[in-house]
Amino acid sequence: MPIHNADIAATFEEIADRLEIQGANPFRIRAYRNAARTLGELPQERALLEKGEDLTRLPGIGDDLAAKVREIVETGHCSLLDRLRRELPPAVTELLHIPGLGPKRVKVLYHELEVQTVEQLYRAARDGRIRALPGFGEKTELNILQTVEAHASQTRRFKLAVAAQYADALTAFLQTVPGVGQATLAGSFRRMRETVGDLDILVTAAAGSPVMQRFTAYDEVADVLSAGPTRASVMLKSGLQVDLRVVEAKSYGAALCYFTGSKAHNIAIRRIAQQRGLKVNEYGVFRGTERIAGEDEASVYRSVGLPFIPPELREDRGEIEAAHGGRLPNLVELADLRGDLHAHTQATDGHNSLREMALAAKALGLQYLAITEHSRHLTVAHGLDPLRLARQCDEIDQLNQELDGITLLKGIEVDILEDGSLDLPDDVLGRLDLVVGAVHSQFHLSRAKQTGRILRAMDHPHFTLLAHPSGRLIEQREPYDADMLRIIRHAKDRGCFLELNAHPDRLDLLDSQCQMAKEEGVLVSINSNAHSSFDFSNLKYGVG
C-alpha cells in the first residue's frame, strides 16, 4: 500500500504524544516532533523512499528515525507505536481532541488524577479536582467542564438495540414500496457501534418509484427535515433522525462504502486511490471520467488493491494495513457460537425457569448454556446462598438427564468484594463447572485499588471468567477506573478469561479491548447475560 509522507508524519506525532504523556525524555519527544514536521512538509510527489536514498540527509532524521520510516513503508506499521499503544490505555489520546488539552496537560491529568477517558475527565472537572493541578486553575477547569458537556450534548445517541427496533421496521417497510430493489442500512449502525446518532438508509429504485413520498409519509415520522428526488431526511417520533438516499444500481457499492464510513476509514481509502490516479466518491471509482468500479463494495476495494473489508472493521484502526498485508481476521458470526456462559433464571432476577431457558438456547442452535445466578451479596437480585445454589445444582443435574441436544452447566455470577475475595466459600465454588466473577459495588475506588481488587479475585483457584469487565452501563454509569491491559495480561498468566457481555446496556468489553485481549492471547466469551428466554437475541450485538 502506498504510504504518504503525511501518514509517516502522523505516526511520529502520535509517538511523540504518547511519549510525552508517559513522561519520556524531552529530547526524544522533540526528535519525533521535528521529524514529523520535516516529513509532513515534504511535497508528496517527492520519492521519499526510492531505493538507496539516504534519509538521514533530511533535517532531523537520524539513523534510528530513518529505520522507522522504512519500517512503516515496508510493513504498514511501526513496532514502537504498536508497543506504546499497548502500554497506554487506548482512550488516552482521545483527550487530546478536547480543546485546550495538549500532551503536557494530558500527561498531568493522567499521572496525577489517573484520567484516561473523556468520561473520567468530566468527572474530575465536575468534582473540582483539576483546578489544583499545576498549569490548570479554576478557569481552565470550568472550560474543560463546559467543553465536555457541549460535546456530549451535541447529538442524542441511541443504544444499538433501541435503534434496531426503528431501523429494522423502517427498512422492511421500504422494501415493500413498488420499484424498490435494495434497501440497506449504512452508517454507524452498520458498523455496529454501541450507540448511533442517526440512521442512514440507501435504496435502489426504479424510475417513478414512490419511495420518497412513502418514506416521508411513514407513520413514525414526526417532522420532515428535507425532501428531494434522491434524498430526504426525517425526524421520527422517537427523536431518531433518518436520512434516505436513492442511488443508481451502478453506484450502489460506492455509495454503501461512502455512507457506511467511518470518516477516517473513507479518507484513508481515498488517499490510496489518489496514489493510483483514481477518484473515489459516493458515485463510483473513476479514472478520469471513466467509472471503473462501484456496483458493489468489493469492486471499490478491489480497485485500490484491497480485499473486501467488513463494515465492523472500518474505523481506521489498522484494518487497511491488515487488508494490504493479507492479515484481515475472520470475523465471528452469530452461527459460530456454540454456547452461552452467562444466564439467569427465576431463581434470582430472571423471568424463566431452567427448562425454559435451556429450550430457548437450544432453539437458537446453542449446544450448552451456563446458568449463572447472582450470589448472595447482591440482595437486590435475590442472590443465591450456598444452600439454594446446591439445590439448583441438583436441579441442573436432573434436567440434564432429560434434555436432548443441549447441556446445562452449573455456574454462579459471584460478587467480587472490595478486598478481592469472592462472595461464596471454596467448597461451594468447587462444585461448579465455572465461576463468573463480577464487580457489582464500590465502583468509585481508585484505579490502583479497583485493579488490585480484580487481580486478587482472578487469583482465586476457582475463578473462570470476568463478567462485564469495565462495569459500565451505557449512558447510565461510567466504566470504573481500572487498568484493563494489566487485567488482560493477568488473565493470561492465570489461565482465565474475559466476557464480552452482549446486553445492549453493557456491550462490555469494548471492541478495542477485545482486540487487545486477542493480541495478548486471552480468550473472550460472548455472553447474552440473558434474564429471559428472549434475551438470547442479545448475542448478535455482542458478535457485532
Q: With beta carbons less than 8 A apart as the criterion, state whether 525 and 498 touch.
A: yes
Cα R_g (the chain), whole angstroms: 26
Res 389: pLDDT: 96
SS (H, E, C) 77-88: CCHHHHHHHHHC
The answer to whether 431 touches 410, Cβ cutoff 8 Å, is: yes
pLDDT at position 481 = 92
pLDDT at 48: 53
The pLDDT, as a whole number, for residue 42 is 59
What pLDDT does 3 receive?
Answer: 64
Using CA of residue 143, residue 146, residue 149, residue 154, what is the dihedral sign?
A: negative
Where does 310-387 show beta strands of DSSP type E?
339-340, 368-374
Q: Which domains does the chain have, with CATH numbers?
A: 5-152 (1.10.150.110), 158-247 (3.30.460.10), 252-324 (3.30.210.10), 334-543 (3.20.20.140)
One-letter amino acid identity for 363?
Answer: A
Using N-to-C axis directions, what is the helix angle for 484-494 and 447-458, rounded to 10°? 10
Range 429-432, long-range pairs (CB < 8 A, 24+ positions): 429/460, 429/462, 430/462, 431/390, 431/393, 432/393, 432/462
pLDDT value at position 46?
Answer: 44
Q: In this structure, are residues 516 and 470 in contact, taking their beta carbons and an 8 Å threshold?
A: no
Residue 379 falls in which region: left (phi positive, over 0), alpha (psi -120 to 50) or beta:
alpha
CB atoms under 10 Å from CB of 427, counted, come to: 8
**pTM for the structure as a whole:** 0.72
pLDDT below 70 — which residues of the chain?
A: 1-4, 6, 40-53, 59, 90, 99, 151-155
Backbone angles phi, psi at 151, to 5 degrees: -65, -40
Strand partners, 384: 375
- Residue linked to cell 435502489: 204
Whether 273 contacts 304, CB under 8 Å:
yes
What are φ and ψ of residue 472, in 5° steps?
A: -75, 155
Cβ atoms of residues 444 and 474 within 8 Å: no
Q: Which residue in this structure is represented by grid cell 473489508?
A: 309
Q: What is the pLDDT of residue 262?
A: 95
- Tell me, what DSSP letter sits at residue 466? E
Cα(366)–Cα(358) distance, rounded to whole angstroms?
9
**223-257: per-residue pLDDT in tens?**
999 999 999 999 988 888 999 999 999 999 999 99
Report d(CA 43, CA 149) in Å as an integer. Answer: 40
Instruction: Report d(CA 135, CA 120) in Å as an integer.
Output: 19
Q: Per-residue pLDDT tens for 358-387?
A: 999 999 999 999 999 999 988 877 899 999
CB 206 within 8 A of CB 181: yes
Where does residue 227 rank: exposed (0-12), middle (13-18), buried (19+ CB within 10 A)? middle
